[in-house]
Structure 1
Amino acid sequence: MPRLADHEARRRQITDAVRRVMVRGGLESVTFHTVAAEAGISVRLVQYYFGTKSDFLLATHRSVMEDAGARFMQSWTALGADATPREAIRAVLTELLPLDDRRREEVYVLGAFGWAAITGAGITAEETFAAPRALTTIVADQLRRARPAGAPTQGNPELDAELVLMATGGLAQGMLQGYGTPQSAVDLVDHLLDRVLGSAAGA
């Protein structure tokens, strides 16, 4: 077991180095050599854990989403069992915004992956779709919960969830460029939830 833990720590050391290299120089600056130098290890060791550049890029993408997922769960646990759908969705959306240094790094990295998928630079869009699809399911389930019992079905929760997540993703990328402040971003998320939840906002 200790050896397994060491391997996991080494992988994390490498993916964290990939993040830092990406933030400083973009995806094009990520190579076995730059990652090894950033991590303070040999190129051969990076190659041992990740045989190709695509391997460590995908592992880095997974590590970002796992970190965000862990925060989602912490936020949900803190809300308690009586959390309203609005509170649950808001907890998810605010974790997607670059409201601190760690989340800012994650938004930058995910944006770089998105551009790489568009340009075909080492990673495909399909390889990054699992996390957005999972988030869409989570938000859609909460939107269904927000409907009053016995109310007629209106709208499409899946499409509404995609709209909410796309809007939040765009807002997050805009913040990297200096659009708005953390408070104005949170205010926009609240306004978006008002529009989407409508009369069910306080359900």
Structure 2
Amino acid sequence: MPKRVDHDQRRRQIGDALLRIASSRGLQSASMREVAAEAGVSLRLVQYYFHTKEELLLAALGYLGEQLAARVEERIRALGPVTPRSVVHGTLTAVLPTDDESRRLTRAYTGYYTLVLSEPDLADRHGATYPDKIERLLGGQLRQAQENGEVDPGLDPELIAAGLLALTNGLGSSVLGGQRDGQAALEILTYHLDRVFTPPRRAG
């Protein structure tokens, strides 16, 4: 009896191969043939599941988003009771490249960002919505923290969320570039989170 093929598993096998290329060598020169070699399958099989390179790029980006979401969820759970601060802290520290897995995720996302710089029409057609989702999540948690009295009500939650995510991405680049290590980046991020999550002192 012929072995039944799990098509979703095979698609992920190929997508994961592309993500390994993204995190190690970048995506500008990644061909379907190179992805096939990395996945250990034939070029024909890659073309069977993904008719174009763009289709493969978008599918792999979706897989990457799922991996990051799982890491965020795991990090938040590890912090104990779920609070606005634990969600914000867990989300941002999951993105920060402080270990092998987060460095792999960060390098893979960097591969996509670099590709968009050279092929801006790719962003126009499909967009990169994951950062927007993270900003909305952070903004909602910061607004809840304001209602709980944990964050100054005079702050703009959406602007703070965008700034914290930009800070985290910048720190990630500095870690990958060798300017500082992951622990130093984490200390900087924690410093700024402590400043945000410090409620205003009451007069008297």
Shared fold (TM-score, shorter chain, > 0.5): yes
Percent identity over the alignment is: 36
Question: 1:65 and 1:167, CA in 2 relative to 1: closer, same or farther beyond 3 A?
Answer: same
Residue matched to 1:179: 179
The answer for the alignment partner of 1:24 in structure 2 is 24
Q: How does 1:121-160 map to 2 (within 5 A)?
A: 123-124=122-123, 127-149=126-148, 153-160=153-160
- The CA deviation at 1:106 is 1.2
Letter in 1 for 2:10: R
Match of 1:116 in 2: 115
* Cα offset, 1:43, TM superposition: 0.6
**3-state SS of paired residue (1:198):** coil
Measure, in 2, the Cα distance between the counterparts of 1:90 and 1:152.
Answer: 17
Gapped runs of 5+ residues in structure 1?
Answer: none
| Structure with the largest fraction of helix | 1
Aligned to 1:199: 199
- Which residue of the partner structure matches residue 87 of structure 2? 88
**Cα separation, 2, equivalents of 1:38 and 1:94:** 30
Write out per-residue CA displacement over residues 109-144 of structure 1, whole angstroms, 9 at most, x where no aligned residue: 111211221221673166343211111111111111
Match of 1:163 in 2: 163
Structure 1 SS opposite 2:166: helix
Contact 1:89 1:139 (8 Å CA) reproduced: yes
Tell me the equivalent position of 1:37.
37
Measure, in 2, the Cα distance between the counterparts of 1:142 and 1:62. Answer: 24
Amino acid aligned to 1:86: R
Q: Is the partner of 1:193 in helix, strand or coil?
A: helix
* Larger deviation, residues 114-123 vs 167-176: 114-123
The answer to whether the 8 Å contact 2:24/2:107 transfers is no
Letter in 2 for 1:98: P
Aligned-pair CA distance for 1:172 = 0.8
Matched pairs, number: 197
What is the CA–CA distance in structure 2 between the aligned matches of 1:126 and 1:167, rounded to whole Å?
A: 27
Compare 156-165 and 123-132 and name the one that shifted more: 123-132
Contact 1:85–1:146 (8 Å) recurs in 2: yes
**CA–CA distance in structure 1, aligned partners of residues 169 and 193 of structure 2:** 14
TM-score, structure 2 as length reference: 0.86
| Structural RMSD (CA) | 2.3
Contact 1:58/1:123 (CA < 8 Å) preserved in 2? no
Q: Which amino acid aligns with 1:95?
A: A
1:71 aligned partner: 71
Change (3 A) 1:29 1:155: same
Tell me if the contact between 2:22 and 2:112 (Cα under 8 Å) persists in the aligned partners. no
Q: CA deviation at 1:96?
A: 0.4
Q: Is the 8 A contact 1:175 1:181 kept in 2?
A: yes
In 2, the alpha carbon distance for the partners of 1:99 and 1:171 equals: 10
Report the equivalent of 1:56. Answer: 56
- Per the TM alignment, residue 199 of structure 1 is displaced from its structure 2 partner at its CA by 2.2
